[in-house]
Amino acid sequence: MSRSGLVVASLAVVVFSLFPVFVMLSTAVDEDANAGGRGIIPGGLTFEHFSRVLTETRFPDYLLNSLVVAVVTVLASGLLALFAAVAVARFRFSGRTKILMMILIVQMVPMEALVIPLFLQAKTLGLLNSLLGLSVIYIAFSLSFAIWTLRGFVAAVPMELEEAAYLDGCSWWQMFWKVLFPLVAPGLVAVSVFSFILAWNEFIFALTFMADDDMYTAAVGLRAFFTRSGTDWGAVMAASSIITLPVMIFFVAVQSRLSSGLMSGATKG
């Protein structure tokens, strides 16, 4: 392919990739967003849709719910996965291979097939409409990937460091927090980004579990802008921008570290 051919192809990929993002943002700041028959270029700029979404609707509550669920998921799944990764990377015990296989296989289970039994279970246990109940499900779904990734990072830490800490009089748990934890931190960052995005974006469980309006997550709460009398597209796109942009900027910012982290996690196993 010629030099100019590469440039044209590159621009085509950039436009195709960013087109929906552009439309989302341009509609969110367009005075005529709800006028109908508009193009994709704003007629006049306004932040009215953003201020309406943030002051006149329950959307800020939904954002807070999403944040709580995502943070709980990141912290809990990161910690549990690190424990499990240390167990399978540092110890040889009977049943180890079987457990690793099982963790790999449960990753194949379609979330969609579990929503019915988990809904019935949560109803029986009174866990519907609960941020904790929702987080626990996201923790389960992010664990498998997190364990497989962290396993590589733990294995890459030289065993001598742990032994030296032990000889210095550290207990096993002190060694865990002071030696192992800081050294696998890059792996934890990669794993956290993925579990955060999973929890932040998830729709089907949030839709099913959160029956009350005040417990909606942001992804589910967007539905409130679609009413019988019509769709408030300005509000939908402003709220969508608020949900999408921070995650996107963060993801793009850490992506090079992310992919190198995942690569080393995958190969150092």
Partner 1 sequence: MSSPALGSARRPWLLLAPTLAVIGILLLWPMVRVVILSFQDFGLRELVRGGAEIVGLQNYRDILTDERLWRVALPNTVVFAVVCVVLTVAVGTLVALLLHRLSPGWRTLVTMSVMAAWAVPAVTGTYVWVYLFDARAGFLTGILGQLGLIDVATTNLFTERGWFYAIATLNVVHHGFPFVAVTVLAGLVTIPSELPEAAMIDGANAWQRFRHVTLPMLKPVFAIVTILSTIWDFKVFTQIYLMPGGDGSNREVLNLGTWSYITAMSQNQFGLGAAIAVLLTLLLLGITALYLRTLFKEEEL
Query: 31-70: which residues touch partner 1 (CB under 8 A)?
Result: 35-40
Q: Does 163 bind partner 1 (CB under 8 A)?
A: yes
The DSSP 8-state label assigned to residue 53 in this structure reads H
108 SS3 class: coil
Name the token pair of 153.
Answer: 């990072």
Q: Which of 45, 51, 64, 96 binds partner 1 (CB under 8 A)?
A: 96
Instruction: Examine residue 197 and tell whether it contacts partner 1 (CB under 8 A).
Output: yes
Nearer to partner 1, 35 or 45 (CB): 35
Specify the residue, 80 or 189, whose C-beta has the smaller distance to partner 1: 80
Cβ–Cβ under 8 Å, residues 76 and 55: no
Instruction: For residue 208, state whether it binds partner 1 (rule: CB under 8 A).
Output: yes
CA-closest candidate to residue 185, choices 148, 226, 150? 150
Q: How far is the CB of 60 from partner 1 (least distance, A)?
A: 17
Label residue 42 left, alpha or beta by phi (over 0 means left) and psi (-120 to 50 means alpha): beta
Beta carbon of residue 87, minimum distance to partner 1 (angstroms, whole number)? 4
Which residue type, as a one-letter code, is found at position 122? A
* Minimum separation from the CB atom of position 253 to partner 1 (A): 10
| Residue 71 lies near partner 1 (rule: CB under 8 A) | no
- Give dist(CA 245, CA 256) in Å, integer: 18
Distance CA 86, CA 92 (A): 11
- Segment interacting with partner 1 (CB under 8 A) among 47-55, 67-75, 116-124, 181-189: 116-124
Give least dist CB 81 to partner 1, A: 7
Residue written as tokens 């240390």? Answer: 86
Q: Does 212 bind partner 1 (CB under 8 A)?
A: no
Position among 45, 132, 185, 263 found at the interface with partner 1 (CB under 8 A)? 263
CB of 207 to partner 1, least distance (A): 8
Which residues 7-26 are close enough to bind partner 1 by CB under 8 A?
7, 9-10, 13-14, 16-18, 20-21, 23-24
* Shortest CB 214 distance to partner 1, Å: 19
Is 205 a residue that touches partner 1 (CB under 8 A)? no
Rounded distance, CA 202 to CA 219, Å?
Answer: 7
Which distant-in-sequence residues (6+ apart) come within 8 Å of 166 by Cβ? 172, 175
φ/ψ (deg, to 5) at 169: 100, 10
